[in-house]
């Protein structure tokens, strides 16, 4: 499959892809008020605490160069940070909810050793403690796994569009499942209501008035991804790094904020150009950029990119995205699916990669930009560009993945193993 297969049939506007240049983006040094909320020191602390958890890989996730795709895109370098192998959970969310749970427990029990919480050292003391969250799948799975290992109870609220397959993947960790009608935002409201009625603790990745500590902890956990990239590329503080452009998934904005904050603090004015990508029907971040404040999506929110199907921007994440992200962009579902297939196919020079529905947003957006010279020029992408995308998830719903890609994730994984061996 070629890049042209990912291109919209008409103009980007006709096919709903949209690019918005953020007029509030800045390249000043990382502001002190933002550093007081999220910083590299705290990200490193998160990484140390999580390193003892059996639920996560000991080594850094791979950073793959895909020279074949780079050639098709007409750029110097295209790289993928593959979070699908972060843990058996299958996504980057293994870095967020677990560290937020650890930090919340430490706030309640300052004498507990944070590195031992997920080892079950304090399970007896935590057996009556209950955490709850709404999820599209991956966040809830991460929280359920962490709660099980810590020894506390977990309740997960799922909305109508979450598949039974994703529900089962959460329930296997012992979480109590609550099903509701409506969409993700409705499930967030129900989780908040249940927490209030029962005295449970909400562990959410989106913030709202009076609720910022835990979403901050979730976002800070994602700094591990950025730190590994810095190590893997030999980046130096205050200098331009290996990549000129970094594509980040949208959603409520937490993952993007976690990585933007780290790279911005580390590289300062030499930070890369950041482009945040989200589904056209879940465009809350793009609308926030247009309106200059946290805003809601204008579409149905229902998207095959389940992890990005969020209707409302995290207020806390927006504090980082508003000054730190250069462009906001939307893509449609079909573009994401075609990007999944392209990464799965690989080539004699590109390793096959299992990338889930939300994991391919960067490649889908990049492909749209390269088919429209005016858009590419606006973003500053040319033959010298070095582009990074984050594959945020693998086949977290294996049957959905196989239906969309036409091959099973196990088949792709076997081909990847053969590629490594050749």
- Catalytic annotation, residues: 93, 136
**Mutual angle of helices 223-233 and 254-267, in 10-degree steps:** 40
What is the secondary structure of 194-215 as a DSSP string? HHHHHTPEE--SS-BTTB-HHH
**Alpha-carbon distance values, 271 to 27, 29, 139, 235 (Å):** 8, 10, 28, 11
Q: How far apart are CA 244 and CA 253, in angstroms?
A: 21
Exposure letters 371-385 (e unless 16+ CB within 10 A, then b): bbeebbeebebeeeb
Q: How far apart are CA 186 and CA 194, in angstroms?
A: 12
- What does the longest C-alpha to C-alpha distance in the chain come to? 61
Name the phi and psi angles at 199, rounded to 5. 75, 30
CA atoms within 13 A of residue 341's CA, in its CB half-sphere: 16
Among 149, 163, 184, 329, residue whose Cα is nearest residue 256: 329
Q: How far apart are CA 63 and CA 79, in angstroms?
A: 7
Both structure tokens of 168: 């089962």
Both structure tokens of 74: 């007409």
Q: How far apart are CA 367 and CA 361, in angstroms?
A: 10
- Going through 280-421 in order, the beta strands assigned E by DSSP cover 327-331, 386-391
Those residues whose C-beta lies under 8 Å from the C-beta of residue 110, and which sit 6 or more positions away, are none
- Going through 66-210 in order, the beta strands assigned E by DSSP cover 77-82, 130-135, 153-158, 176-179, 201-202
| Contact between residue 249 and residue 282 where contact means Cβ atoms under 8 Å apart | no
* H or E element in which residue 247 lies: strand 245-249
Name the phi and psi angles at 328, rounded to 5. -120, 140
**Alpha-carbon distance values, 102 to 53, 117, 140, 227 (Å):** 11, 7, 15, 20
Residue 384's SS3 state is coil
């Amino acid at each position: 499959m070629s890049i042209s297969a990912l291109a919209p049939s008409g103009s980007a506007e006709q096919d709903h892809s949209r690019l918005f240049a953020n007029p509030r983006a800045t390249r000043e040094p990382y502001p002190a008020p933002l550093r007081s909320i999220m910083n590299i020191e705290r990200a490193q602390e998160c990484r140390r605490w999580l390193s003892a958890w059996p639920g996560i890989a000991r080594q850094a996730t791979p950073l793959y160069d895909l020279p074949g795709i780079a050639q098709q895109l007409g750029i110097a370098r295209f790289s993928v940070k593959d979070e699908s192998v972060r843990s058996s959970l299958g996504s980057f969310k293994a870095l967020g909810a677990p560290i937020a749970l650890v930090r919340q427990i430490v706030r309640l029990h300052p004498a507990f050793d944070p590195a031992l919480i997920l080892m079950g050292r304090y399970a007896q003391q935590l057996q009556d403690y209950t955490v709850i969250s709404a999820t599209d799948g991956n966040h809830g799975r991460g929280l359920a796994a962490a709660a099980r290992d810590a020894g506390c109870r977990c309740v997960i609220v799922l909305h109508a569009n979450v598949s039974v397959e994703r529900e089962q993947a959460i329930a296997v960790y012992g979480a109590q499942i609550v099903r509701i009608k409506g969409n993700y935002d409705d499930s967030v409201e129900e989780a908040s209501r249940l927490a209030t009625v029962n005295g449970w603790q909400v562990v959410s990745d989106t913030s709202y008035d009076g609720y910022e500590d835990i979403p901050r902890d979730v976002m800070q956990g994602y700094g591990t991804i950025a730190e590994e990239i810095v190590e893997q590329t030999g980046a130096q503080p205050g200098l331009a790094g290996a990549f000129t452009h970094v594509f980040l998934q949208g959603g409520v904005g937490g993952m993007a904020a976690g990585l933007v904050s780290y790279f911005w603090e580390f590289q300062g004015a030499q930070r890369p150009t950041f482009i945040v990508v989200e589904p056209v029907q879940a465009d809350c971040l793009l609308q926030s950029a247009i309106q200059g404040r946290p805003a809601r999506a204008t579409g149905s929110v229902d998207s095959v990119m389940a992890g990005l199907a969020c209707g409302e921007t995290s207020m806390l994440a927006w504090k980082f995205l508003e000054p730190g992200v250069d462009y906001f962009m939307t893509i449609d579902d079909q573009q994401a699916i075609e990007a999944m297939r392209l990464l799965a196919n690989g080539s004699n020079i590109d390793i096959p990669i299992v990338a889930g529905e939300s994991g391919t947003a960067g490649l889908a957006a990049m492909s749209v930009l390269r088919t429209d010279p005016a858009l590419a020029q606006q973003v500053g992408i040319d033959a010298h560009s070095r582009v990074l995308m984050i594959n945020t998830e693998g086949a977290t719903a294996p049957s959905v993945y196989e239906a969309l890609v036409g091959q099973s994730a196990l088949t792709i994984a076997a081909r990847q193993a053969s590629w490594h061996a050749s």
